[in-house]
Each structure stands twice: as C-alpha cells, then as structure tokens.
Amino acid sequence: MKAKMLNDEALLKEAGKKIRLPVRKEQFRIFVFGPRMDPSEEVELPTSPPSDHDGLQRHAKYLRFWTAKKLREDRWTVDFGETTSIKHFWSSLGIKNAAAMEVGHARKLCGAIIIFPTSVGAISELGLFAGLPSLAKKTLAIVHSRFKDHKSFFRVGLLNMLKIQHGTYEFEDYLNTQKCLELAVEFAENQWTKLALDEYLIEEAQSLTFGRKGGAFEK
C-alpha cells in the first residue's frame, strides 16, 4: 500500500510538471472600482455609519481599499482606474477618453471587475459595464443592503440589466467588512477558476497574461 501511495504521488508530481493553467493567480488582474481614491492611499475605518450619502461613500471607499488589500494578500493582481501608469499606457495607444480606457483595460487585461457603486463615477462605470455583455459577465457589484427593496432606477433598472447580461450583484451591509471581502474573494476565485478550466476561453486567458504582476501597472 505504501509503495502504491508513493507511485501515486510520483504520478501526480509528474502530471504537475505537464499541466499548465492558462492563467496563474498572479497574472489574473482584477479591476476594483468605488469612490475615488489615490491607489497608494491608506483608508481608515469611518467613524460614522453608512446612513447618509457621505457616510455611504466613506464606507464604500474603505471597502474598496480593503478589497484591494485582501486580494493582493491572496496573490491576485489588482488595478485601479486612477493608476497613472494605466492611463499613460492607454493614452500611448491613442485612447484618450477615460471611459474607453477603462473598457479597454477591463476587456483586454482583466478577468474580474468588482464595484462598490455609491459615487457618481462608480455608478457610471457600473452602467457602462452592464451594457457590454463581455464585461457584464465578469462584473460583481456589491451594494449596501438598504437598497435591496428600493424601487429606484438604480435598483430595478441598472442592477437588473447587469443580471440580464449575466453579471452579478450582491446586497450586503457595508458595516460588515468581512462579509464584503468574502464576496469579493469568492467572486475572484470563481472567475479565475472558470477561465482556467474552460478550454474555449484559453485564447482569452492567454491574452490576459500580457499584464503580469510586478509589471507596468503596479503604481
């Protein structure tokens, strides 16, 4: 039995040398959106609850910061739209429009998109991605739970459109940082796994290796 186990381990080790996943975690880029922030900024926990617009934005910014931090700790590569090098890269290709830059970056280089839609900019970005099926399907919107039963256009229009285009949204209390982070990490894992296992997406997966961790977009 012991010999058999050793043989099994040897076979698995040999198989491991031959199997190459299309994208390693370090190469899988995740675009994280929310209220505007400097990519190098340290965001502290807000002292006031997310009960009004300003409080909601402060908590969304805090969650954006911690989502990026947690994903990076788990060896994912995280991008912000505010990153200067990303803007310079797309500008060097002749793309000057901010929306076109983000669409291009999300479509060509990112495997997942996570949005905390509370600011005008973040809601606009969600609307932009929800209308594009190729981007909607890899988008997660984490929405504060008090909007769950709203009848606003945002709730019954935009979020429903995201769902129609096979995107994902989750309602969660923005005070529950841990749960919000778990939703973000689970979504990243699922998007990466789907890409890694679907043979029909190998070509797309290979294109995502263009932007590698430690490359041009880290600052």
CATH code, domain with 152: 3.40.50.360
The number of folded domains in the chain is 1
Q: What pLDDT is recorded for position 105?
A: 96
CA nearest neighbour of 103 among 70, 138, 60, 66: 138
Q: What pLDDT is recorded for position 10?
A: 75
Residue 162 lies in a domain: yes
Residue 5 lies in a domain: no
Residue 203 lies in a domain: yes
User: Residue 71: how many CA atoms within 13 Å on its side-chain side?
Assistant: 33
| Per-state percent for the chain, helix, strand, coil, to nearest 5 | 55, 10, 30
Q: Where are the beta strands (DSSP E) in 20-178?
A: 29-33, 77-79, 110-115, 139-144, 168-172
pLDDT for 59-108, tens place per residue? 999 999 999 999 999 999 999 999 999 999 999 999 999 999 999 999 99
Q: What pLDDT is recorded for position 203?
A: 56
Q: What pLDDT is recorded for position 206?
A: 58
Residue 173 lies in a domain: yes
Residue 15 lies in a domain: no
Contacts 24+ apart (CB under 8 A), 68-73: 68/32, 70/181, 70/184, 70/185, 71/30, 71/32, 71/184, 71/185, 71/188
- Whether the per-residue pLDDT at 216 is higher than 50: the answer is no
pLDDT for 14-44, tens place per residue? 766 666 667 788 889 999 999 999 988 999 9
As a whole number of angstroms, the distance between CA 152 and CA 57 comes to 18
Q: What pLDDT is recorded for position 46?
A: 94
The range of the structural domain enclosing residue 195 comes to: 22-36+57-208
Q: What pLDDT is recorded for position 92?
A: 94
Q: What pLDDT is recorded for position 150?
A: 92
Residue 184 lies in a domain: yes
Residue 42 lies in a domain: no
Q: What pLDDT is recorded for position 215?
A: 45
Average pLDDT over residues 115-141: 97
Residue 136 lies in a domain: yes
Per-residue DSSP letter, 124: H
Query: Is 2 or 180 the better-scoring residue by pLDDT?
Result: 180
User: Residue 42: how many CA atoms within 13 Å on its side-chain side?
Assistant: 0
pLDDT for 151-181, tens place per residue? 999 999 999 999 999 999 999 999 999 999 9
Residue 214 — pLDDT band, cuts 50, 70, 90? very low
